[in-house]
Structure 1
Amino acid sequence: MDFYIAHRLPGRVRLRYDRKSLVPAQAALVQTLVSLQDGIDSVTVNPVSGSILIEYTDITENQAIAYVKALDDSYLENKELLVHVGVSEVQESLLQSLLFLCIEFFIKKLFPLPLRKFLSIFAIAPRIKKGINAVLSGMPFCAATLDATALALSYASGNFNTANTIAMFLNMGDVLEDYTRRKSYDNLAQSFLNTQETVQIVQNGNESSVSVSMLKTGDTIVVRANSVIPADGTVVSGEATVNQAAMTGESLPVQKNAGDSVFASTIVEEGELYICIKACGRETRVSKIASMIDRMQSLKAASQIRSERTADKLVFYNFLLAGLTYAFTRDFVKASFTLLVDYSCAMKLSAPVCVLAAMKNCAQMGITVKGGKFLEDFARADTIVFDKTGTLTESSPKVKRIVAFGGKTEREVLKIAACLEEHFPHSLARAVVKEAAERGINHREEHTKVSYILAHGLVSTLKKDELRIGSAHFIFDDEKIPKTPEVERVISELGQSGCSQLYLAINNELAGIIAIEDPVRAEAMDVIKDLYALGVANIIMLTGDGPETARTIAHKTGILSYEAQALPDTKADFIKKLKKQGRRVVMIGDGINDSPALSAADVGIAMAQASAIASETADILLPADGLHSLPFLRLIAMNLIERIQTNNDIIIGVNSALIAGELSGLLSSSSAALLHNASTVAVGMSAMRPLV
């Protein structure tokens, strides 16, 4: 691009370019691309003045300028890049919009009366049409009919100036409300979009970091272990295992090699891939964010719905007041202006903006809320049910102790257990397999086919011996393996340690117990204490472990109630039972077996590392920092309800005062209408404030 140096200082240079040569989106693209380069501290591009201000360190001025010179048409005319720089639509500033309305209003006053009368028809016709449509659709008492009636009364009485004034006030109100709503919507979208995320792009054999938002079709990137694939593409070279659960629901990683397709938001678990980008930006992440916010908006909080219904009900009283005003004053103008000071607009603006502000607060903390409804349900919940493994615990289990019976050794018990459990992708199973590997035990398969009994255990045979491994319920209750006094003593001892137990039986005799420790999350006790303080009356832990282990973990976390030996189907039944008792229930879990309970609860909350099905089923997703965000989520939700109610009280109080002032003669009709619009926007802007 063409430019010249307007001013320079050490570490700082200002460039000038022909402002007509770049549209605002291109100017934003220049700012984004240059800011990503090494040595650049900040870049500010002003498309109005045609100025580029660059601040840099550890590079020369020529190097800084070279970054701008490199931006030829292959970048500046690239439509895919331009879509994702935040200027997809250029919108006038709020001041410009309001100024234009005022200028248009006063220019019309200079026209001859016949022309003003003619122009007034065009000014009021759209709103009158909207009011008529509202009546025909069965909604006679709404903001549209208020506006249409006020304009029609003014025009019918010959007060064309009044009609134009009312139209201007209404247009100003629309501009202000649209700005407030758009601002809060954009803030929420920006909270979800991580603009700092970078990826390694390969050019001429060299790697460099670029913003994910700057990727374009045809680029080659390299993605290594534990990294998210940022866009859809085809593997050029390399090999890796990719977790596609977020896209396809597959529980196990998939091997990817040259020629295979990969998808945005999937994760490289091991290896590295060189990927040629096929679809990015709008086709992937941005579209997901937009559709997610649209879904959020469709799930309204009950307080928001009540506000909207209350607003519509109050419209009737506006009409009644206008009728009484005309009956006593015989003044069409005063009656029409009375209709302008209503409660509907402010209430219908404030409530959704409050919800958007709450969601933005959550998004900034890494919490994804799938609808305002779930925030309110969480605020009103009196019961929270926690799954144990992976929720209250770290989900990093490790074998702590092995107890062998019947002449078996620890090594023999572990070898058989690992040979069976390697077929079962559960955290406890992984702990057993890992322990065998660390002890150098080679567990070559010699058993027959393994049968998995859901939520109970595994069954197989080895050299005519029948093998069973699983929970205490499975081994002792279902399979009727006898307990000796020694076994009962060991079970009691291990239960007091808080360890989970796997029981291995050979034929009809217990061969060993494997005690597996899963550390309680460091923050669990503080979080439970905070939730009790925030008004949660009942906190319950559900676990598949036995009563002794459940009691120990509950004590460590400060939970007063627990349910032991819970199966996936009984977890869901337990939630339904609580709801039948009249409780508002929140379920928090992370595993596939928690999904039925998450779905049955009033609000289902999934941990950050939850299974794909649990994340899909849940209404709220927590961030990677574990349980820390739960008290903040509760506080945000409670403050949301309080703010909606407070704003409604303010709206009713202020607008009632304006109507009283107008009727008493303390305020002119135009002043009351102006103050009404100003108060509506003030409430809307206040609703945008953070809730914590």
Structure 2
Amino acid sequence: MNQMQAWLSGRWAVPAVSGALIVASFAVGSESWGDVLMVAAAVVAGWQIVLTAVRALMAKVIGIDLLVAVAAIGAVVIGEYWEAAAVTFLFAIGHALENATLTRTRSALAELVAVAPDVAVVLRDGEQTEVPAAAVVAGETVLVKNGAKVPVDGVVIGGNGALDEASITGESIPVEKSDGDQVFAGTVSRGGFLQVEATGVGADTTLARIIHRVEEAQDAKARTQAFMDRFSAWYTPAIIVLAVAVGLVTGDVVLALTLLVIGCPGALVISIPVAVVAGIGRGAKDGILVKGGEFLETSARISAVALDKTGTLTEGRPRLTDVVVLDDGLDRAAVLSWAARAEAGSEHPLARPVISAARDEGLSVAGLPETTEPVPGKGIVATLDGHRVAVGNLALIAAEGITDDDGAAAVVDALASAGRTPVVVALDGRVVGVVAVADRVRVDAPEMVRRLHAAGVRKVLMLTGDTERVARAVAAQVGVDEVRAGLLPEDKLAAIAELQREGHTVAMVGDGVNDAPALATADIGVAMGAAGTGVAIETADIALMRDDLLTLPQALLLARRTVGVMRQNIVIALATVALLLAGVLLGGVTMAVGMLVHEVSVLVVIANAMRLLRRRSRPAPPVATQPAPTQPAPVQA
């Protein structure tokens, strides 16, 4: 009984019953009974069409259903029962097929919903307890065993394992997790055992935010779609007027009703939304979240891409690259040790990589200097074991009254030209060495720039607040077209506005939080590595979930493919309607034949859009075979 009810409420019940009645009408020997069955078939397939048309009219909307309803009722009135049954039957089949294929185009969203975990195993009072995933409280310890879904966003506090994060980042290779690593709800354990402290539960998880974003994006209208909606609002009444005029002039009611059916702009109306849904769905599967159809369209026109340097073109984690000894009485370890111990009392951003490198080399940096004196814009002066240690730029050395730099200026110049940030170390009034730090250029950055150019981007530029020398050293390796260094946030905004005045459609790539003015001003704001970053997911026009530069050109190519499909669909829809109208007016195209061709055109449009769901193979990212350009061999004094 339940199966029967489910079938009757399914999408195929109406066309199946209507089709059976049509077959029965041809099978019975009585013409009168045949007519009754044919009318019954029209009523079964057409009552929902009429109801939808009436509701639309009450909302002051003249849609496709009204054209079909008027044509079917008119055909019954004038005794064309077969035409009435055929039109409504074909429209019902077309509607069922549209629903089925549109469901397929929304498969990415369905898959995201499917991976949402239902249950969680938590530690409560020292015992493992299985609870609904939504019932987990932030701060609780969740256990993730092999094969289980991670039910919450959180941080690993014990154990080791590998997680399949494809549902979040689109990356199919499992990621190793251990203490301190972040995990996301909906990812799947492929081995190991993890203890996770819950930081985000329920609607606060990254997966929930992604689902919400994809839902909104697939319902958001592209500019072309909005235009087509306005076009249809005028087109449909125009077809009704044309049909009435032809009927009055020719006296042929069948011709007028046929024009109503043939003029249905069904394929035209669905041509844009089905492409947008498929394109956004494909992107979601690949870890590319697009805010909506309008942004997908705009992305297809991007001609200039502005890239932040730190954290985008580079790894965003400065590390020690050089220790140059300038005093014969000291060795490398001593120079690094003095620098690290002095920096222990500093808030300078370069202090951390120097201290970390010293610790990694087994040098003691415990404790703080006896005194610490920051010198704004120059460096720091500290007292260590009664010795005065100055760590900073050449201006600090001059301020210390040191006139002989023992060749430090030449070393500083060479290091800066190589794209590194040099720091001079002075001990008790004499220069003893230079240490340098640098942020590694991402190994896939040059390939990303090449692919952007191949995708049709005319200008790729780097916007950074770093020094000119460092910026140009990075740019030389990456291959960007233009470099603008020493910029404040408002300068980056001005650079974006200048590109727009030159006629470019601009994408700005940043971290989704910093550089907010430039991201907001750009035609498209792109957030890199947005997994787990709620602000980036919600605010960026495009959020790239994977911290992978090659997804940027992939996103632009997807946008171009989607817009190409939209244009193809519009041509298919308009050409079909034009040919059918010509066929009706010149003779030879009946109401049933016209509806059949019309429904076929709708399916062709949908099938064309579904091509976007196929994943195009992406070349493997380049493999680093040598140190990145910001980490060359040590400079010799």
The two structures have a TM-score, normalised by structure 2, of 0.71
Structure 1 residue 385: deviation in Å? 0.5
- Among 332, 337, 345, the alignment partner of 1:411 is 337
Asked whether the 8 Å contact 1:540–1:561 carries over to 2, the reply is yes
Paired with 1:107 and 1:302, the residues of 2 have a C-alpha distance of 47
CA 1:176/1:572 → structure 2, altered by over 3 Å: closer, same or farther? same
Paired with 2:587 and 2:554, the residues of 1 have a C-alpha distance of 48
Q: Which runs of 5+ in 2 are unaligned?
A: 161-167, 169-178, 617-637
Q: Report the 3-state secondary structure (helix = DSSP H, G, I; strand = E; otherwise coil) of the residue aligned with 1:380.
A: coil
Could you tell me which amino acid in structure 2 is paired with residue 550 of structure 1? A
Which residue is equivalent to 1:102? Answer: 19
Could you tell me which amino acid in structure 2 is paired with residue 597 of structure 1? A
CA 1:377/1:395 → structure 2, altered by over 3 Å: closer, same or farther? same
CA 1:165/1:350 → structure 2, altered by over 3 Å: closer, same or farther? same
Could you tell me which amino acid in structure 1 is paired with residue 364 of structure 2? I
Which residue is equivalent to 1:176? Answer: 97
Asked whether the 8 Å contact 1:192–1:289 carries over to 2, the reply is no
Which residue is equivalent to 2:282? Answer: 361
Paired with 1:277 and 1:90, the residues of 2 have a C-alpha distance of 42
Alignment: residue pair count? 569
Q: Report the 3-state secondary structure (helix = DSSP H, G, I; strand = E; otherwise coil) of the residue aligned with 2:287.
A: coil
CA 1:622/1:114 → structure 2, altered by over 3 Å: closer, same or farther? closer
Which residue is equivalent to 2:465? Answer: 544
Asked whether the 8 Å contact 1:322–1:338 carries over to 2, the reply is yes
Structure 1 residue 554: deviation in Å? 0.9
- Among 353, 362, 365, the alignment partner of 1:442 is 365
- Among 585, 591, 596, the alignment partner of 1:674 is 596
Structure 1 residue 138: deviation in Å? 4.0
CA 1:319/1:182 → structure 2, altered by over 3 Å: closer, same or farther? same
Which residue is equivalent to 2:521? Answer: 600
Asked whether the 8 Å contact 2:303–2:505 carries over to 1, the reply is yes
- Among 561, 567, 590, the alignment partner of 2:488 is 567
Any idea what the Cα deviations from partners look like across 1:376-400, whole Å, max 9, x if unmatched? Answer: 2221011100111221123343211
Structure 1 residue 546: deviation in Å? 0.8
Could you tell me which amino acid in structure 2 is paired with residue 570 of structure 1? D
Paired with 1:616 and 1:460, the residues of 2 have a C-alpha distance of 44
Which residue is equivalent to 1:63? Answer: none
Which residue is equivalent to 2:415? Answer: 494
Asked whether the 8 Å contact 2:378–2:395 carries over to 1, the reply is no
Q: Report the 3-state secondary structure (helix = DSSP H, G, I; strand = E; otherwise coil) of the residue aligned with 2:486.
A: coil
Q: CA RMSD in A?
A: 5.4
Q: Report the 3-state secondary structure (helix = DSSP H, G, I; strand = E; otherwise coil) of the residue aligned with 1:419.
A: coil
Paired with 2:488 and 2:433, the residues of 1 have a C-alpha distance of 23
Could you tell me which amino acid in structure 2 is paired with residue 415 of structure 1? R
Structure 1 residue 653: deviation in Å? 1.0
- Aligned counterparts, 1:21-60, within 5 A: none
Any idea what the Cα deviations from partners look like across 1:27-50, whole Å, max 9, x if unmatched? Answer: xxxxxxxxxxxxxxxxxxxxx9xx
Larger mean CA deviation between 378-387 and 457-466 belongs to 457-466
CA 1:387/1:469 → structure 2, altered by over 3 Å: closer, same or farther? farther
Structure 1 residue 459: deviation in Å? 8.4
Asked whether the 8 Å contact 1:606–1:618 carries over to 2, the reply is yes
Structure 1 residue 524: deviation in Å? 1.8
- Aligned counterparts, 1:418-567, within 5 A: 418-421=344-347, 430-439=352-361, 440-446=363-369, 489-501=410-422, 514-567=435-488
Paired with 2:104 and 2:282, the residues of 1 have a C-alpha distance of 14
State whether structure 2 residue 582 is matched by structure 1 residue 660: yes
Structure 1 residue 578: deviation in Å? 3.1
Structure 1 residue 503: deviation in Å? 7.9
Paired with 2:591 and 2:43, the residues of 1 have a C-alpha distance of 22
CA 1:152/1:570 → structure 2, altered by over 3 Å: closer, same or farther? same
State whether structure 2 residue 570 is matched by structure 1 residue 648: yes
Which residue is equivalent to 2:539? Answer: 617
Paired with 2:507 and 2:579, the residues of 1 have a C-alpha distance of 42
Which residue is equivalent to 2:164? Answer: none
CA 1:535/1:555 → structure 2, altered by over 3 Å: closer, same or farther? same
Which residue is equivalent to 2:298? Answer: 377
Larger mean CA deviation between 386-395 and 409-418 belongs to 409-418
Asked whether the 8 Å contact 1:130–1:148 carries over to 2, the reply is no
Asked whether the 8 Å contact 2:118–2:151 carries over to 1, the reply is no
Which residue is equivalent to 2:627? Answer: none
CA 1:231/1:199 → structure 2, altered by over 3 Å: closer, same or farther? closer
Paired with 1:649 and 1:91, the residues of 2 have a C-alpha distance of 37
Q: Which runs of 5+ in 1 are unaligned?
A: 1-19, 25-47, 49-88, 241-245, 247-254, 257-261
State whether structure 2 residue 549 is matched by structure 1 residue 627: yes
Structure 1 residue 316: deviation in Å? 3.8
Q: Report the 3-state secondary structure (helix = DSSP H, G, I; strand = E; otherwise coil) of the residue aligned with 2:346.
A: helix
Asked whether the 8 Å contact 1:162–1:333 carries over to 2, the reply is no
Which residue is equivalent to 1:231? Answer: 151
Any idea what the Cα deviations from partners look like across 1:310-339, whole Å, max 9, x if unmatched? Answer: 344432442243124313432323322321
CA 1:420/1:282 → structure 2, altered by over 3 Å: closer, same or farther? closer
Paired with 1:351 and 1:458, the residues of 2 have a C-alpha distance of 58
Q: Report the 3-state secondary structure (helix = DSSP H, G, I; strand = E; otherwise coil) of the residue aligned with 1:562.
A: strand
Percent same amino acid among aligned pairs? Answer: 27
Q: Report the 3-state secondary structure (helix = DSSP H, G, I; strand = E; otherwise coil) of the residue aligned with 2:589.
A: coil
Asked whether the 8 Å contact 1:340–1:673 carries over to 2, the reply is yes
CA 1:417/1:122 → structure 2, altered by over 3 Å: closer, same or farther? same
Q: Report the 3-state secondary structure (helix = DSSP H, G, I; strand = E; otherwise coil) of the residue aligned with 2:466.
A: coil
Which residue is equivalent to 1:687? Answer: 609
Structure 1 residue 591: deviation in Å? 6.9
Q: Report the 3-state secondary structure (helix = DSSP H, G, I; strand = E; otherwise coil) of the residue aligned with 1:583.
A: coil
Higher relative contact order (CA 8 A, sep 6+): 2
Asked whether the 8 Å contact 1:496–1:548 carries over to 2, the reply is yes
Asked whether the 8 Å contact 2:322–2:435 carries over to 1, the reply is yes
Any idea what the Cα deviations from partners look like across 1:46-103, whole Å, max 9, x if unmatched? Answer: xx9xxxxxxxxxxxxxxxxxxxxxxxxxxxxxxxxxxxxxxxx999887666434412
Could you tell me which amino acid in structure 2 is paired with residue 674 of structure 1? L
Could you tell me which amino acid in structure 1 is paired with residue 473 of structure 2? T
Paired with 2:515 and 2:558, the residues of 1 have a C-alpha distance of 25
CA 1:607/1:284 → structure 2, altered by over 3 Å: closer, same or farther? closer
Structure 1 residue 184: deviation in Å? 0.8
Could you tell me which amino acid in structure 2 is paired with residue 633 of structure 1? A
Q: Report the 3-state secondary structure (helix = DSSP H, G, I; strand = E; otherwise coil) of the residue aligned with 1:308.
A: helix
Paired with 2:298 and 2:9, the residues of 1 have a C-alpha distance of 38
Paired with 1:235 and 1:606, the residues of 2 have a C-alpha distance of 22
Asked whether the 8 Å contact 2:508–2:518 carries over to 1, the reply is yes
Larger mean CA deviation between 283-292 and 109-118 belongs to 109-118
